[in-house]
């Protein structure tokens, strides 16, 4: 039996891709934590992916059921290749992957208390530490059972934590997050510029006894909205309380909707682009038709910002980064406490290109065989936005390939295997 991985948020957009990647080839048994205790995803996933062995209830915000979920995952796994067949009941758990989040910036601004309870995983960290204590066997003759470190944790973070240029940081950013503080060395090596981080640095060194350098991939961290601040707080929490972890800072993800579309909330950016460009193409065709009233036909172009830059990344590449992190630092490689000093504080997970939203949309149009001229480039100031957004948070992603062996696809390359959703639904209907 392969080792187990516990996945929180496994029914979401990224989560379903992560589950598929982890179960590929039967490398891991995956246990999915469902907030509702048993969503439609659980039954469909376990039937389509034999390595998804269970769906268990758990609440990231309250902590209810999380320790029980960890114990169940460990029960359903076994130590990895080359690992001793430990007597400890926690030996079969390779890693925990936290994909769960309330990622809507607007929702986080409206209800920061509720969103913070989900986005800052304090209850999960407490459960993982309690699990390690519960599954250690102090009187065991087996050395590996007497003191078991907590399971390795992969935490999904975001590129929105970065400053993105002073002009795009929002009015409150300068006072809350100071760039000069962001570039100081701190015990865990994570780059963040908050007073909270300074106090964390004064708490002493991490348990490995090493000071790690400031992360060279990270520019100044200066979040400009509630969602980004919560993600920084999550990284700070792990810095202080959970060194057996890595934060994967993802850029905007794009891809076709996964198997269980009902479990995916909101419209994703690729689907938004497809819909906007399709409407524009239809309007342009109607306006060009003989006898049409072009003025009554409405807008014939789709508007996208040309002054906000991201490193758009295929969701499948993010899932590959998660799986690579589990393989490198999970149970299979026997990472001990001292080896935590060698862990990177964070890995940027983005595509190889710096693109504006307008440039991305034009690539989508070209991939669909439509005129890229249907996309109109407009400044972000043309739209009144309730939530501030960083201007340029394109990322250096060298560590993604060098350390994890993941070479992300360009947008054009990735889109070749991503048909529009209506085509996908048509193929499914034909197959049925």
Q: Which residue has the higher pLDDT, 185 or 142?
A: 142
Residue 359 lies in a domain: no
The residue count for the chain: 432
Residue 379 lies in a domain: no
pLDDT confidence tier of residue 17, bands split at 50, 70 and 90? very high
Owning domain of residue 70? 4-258+312-352+396-411
pLDDT confidence tier of residue 222, bands split at 50, 70 and 90? confident
pLDDT confidence tier of residue 79, bands split at 50, 70 and 90? low
pLDDT confidence tier of residue 53, bands split at 50, 70 and 90? confident
Confidence check: pLDDT of 176 > 60: no
Residue 83 lies in a domain: yes
Q: Which residue has the higher pLDDT, 121 or 419?
A: 121
What is the overall mean pLDDT for the chain? 76
Confidence check: pLDDT of 209 > 80: no
Output the pLDDT for position 218.
Answer: 52
Residue 324 lies in a domain: yes
- How many structural domains are present in the chain? 1
Task: Kindly state the average pLDDT of the residues 66-90.
Answer: 74
Output the pLDDT for position 90.
Answer: 59
Residue 294 lies in a domain: no
The CA distance from 232 to 65, in Å, is 25
The CA distance from 425 to 432, in Å, is 11
Output the pLDDT for position 241.
Answer: 86
Confidence check: pLDDT of 174 > 70: no
- Closest residue by Cα to residue 406 from 362, 349, 359: 349
Residue 426 lies in a domain: no
Please report, rounded to a whole number, the percentage of residues in the chain having pLDDT higher than 70. 67
Assign residue 84 the CATH number of its domain. 3.40.50.720
Output the pLDDT for position 325.
Answer: 94
Residue 343 lies in a domain: yes
Task: Kindly state the average pLDDT of the residues 90-97.
Answer: 84
CA distances from 306 to 168, 217, 358 (A): 14, 25, 5
The pLDDT tens digits of the residues spanning 301-355 come to: 789 999 999 999 999 999 999 999 999 888 644 444 445 555 677 889 999 999 9
Output the pLDDT for position 36.
Answer: 59
Output the pLDDT for position 198.
Answer: 34
| Minimum mean pLDDT range among 158-162, 269-273, 328-332 | 328-332
Confidence check: pLDDT of 391 > 60: yes
Task: Kindly state the average pLDDT of the residues 411-418.
Answer: 94
Residue 222 lies in a domain: yes
| Minimum mean pLDDT range among 83-87, 104-108, 248-252, 356-360 | 83-87
Q: Which residue has the higher pLDDT, 332 or 162?
A: 162
């Amino acid at each position: 039996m392969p080792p187990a991985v516990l996945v929180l948020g496994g029914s979401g957009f990224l989560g379903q891709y992560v589950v598929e990647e982890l179960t590929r080839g039967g490398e891991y048994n995956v246990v999915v934590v469902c907030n509702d205790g048993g969503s439609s995803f659980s039954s469909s996933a376990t039937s389509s992916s034999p390595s998804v062995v269970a769906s268990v209830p758990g609440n990231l915000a309250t902590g209810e059921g999380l320790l029980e979920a960890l114990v169940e995952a460990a029960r359903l796994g076994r130590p990895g290749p080359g690992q001793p067949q430990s007597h400890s009941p926690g030996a079969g758990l390779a890693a925990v992957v936290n994909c769960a989040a309330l990622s809507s910036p607007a929702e986080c601004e409206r209800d920061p208390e509720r969103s913070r309870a989900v986005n800052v995983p304090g209850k999960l960290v407490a459960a993982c530490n309690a699990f390690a204590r519960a599954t250690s066997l102090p009187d065991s003759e087996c050395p590996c059972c007497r003191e078991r470190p907590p399971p390795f944790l992969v935490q999904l973070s975001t590129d929105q934590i970065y400053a993105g240029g002073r002009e795009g940081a929002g009015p409150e950013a300068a006072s809350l997050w100071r760039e000069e503080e962001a570039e100081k060395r701190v015990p865990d090596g994570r780059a963040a510029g908050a007073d909270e981080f300074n106090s964390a640095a004064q708490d002493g060194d991490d348990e490995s006894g090493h000071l790690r350098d400031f992360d060279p991939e990270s520019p100044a961290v200066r979040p400009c909205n509630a969602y980004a601040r919560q993600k920084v707080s999550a990284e700070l929490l792990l810095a202080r309380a959970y060194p057996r972890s890595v934060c994967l800072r993802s850029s905007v993800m794009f891809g076709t909707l996964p198997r269980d579309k009902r479990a995916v909330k909101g419209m994703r950016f690729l689907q938004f682009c497809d819909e906007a460009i399709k409407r524009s193409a239809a309007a342009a065709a109607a306006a060009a038709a003989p006898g049409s009233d072009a003025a009554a036909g409405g807008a014939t172009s789709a508007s996208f910002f040309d002054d906000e830059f991201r490193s758009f990344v295929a969701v499948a590449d993010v899932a590959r980064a998660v799986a690579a992190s589990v393989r490198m630092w999970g149970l299979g490689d026997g990472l001990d406490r001292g080896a935590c000093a060698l862990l990177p504080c964070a890995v940027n997970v983005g595509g190889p290109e710096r693109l504006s939203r307008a440039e991305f949309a034009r690539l989508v149009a070209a991939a669909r065989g439509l005129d890229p001229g249907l996309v109109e480039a407009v400044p972000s100031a043309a739209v009144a936005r309730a939530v501030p957004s960083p201007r340029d948070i394109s990322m250096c992603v060298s560590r993604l390939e060098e350390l994890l062996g993941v070479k992300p696809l360009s947008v054009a390359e990735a889109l070749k295997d991503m048909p529009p959703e209506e085509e996908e639904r048509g193929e499914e209907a034909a197959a049925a």
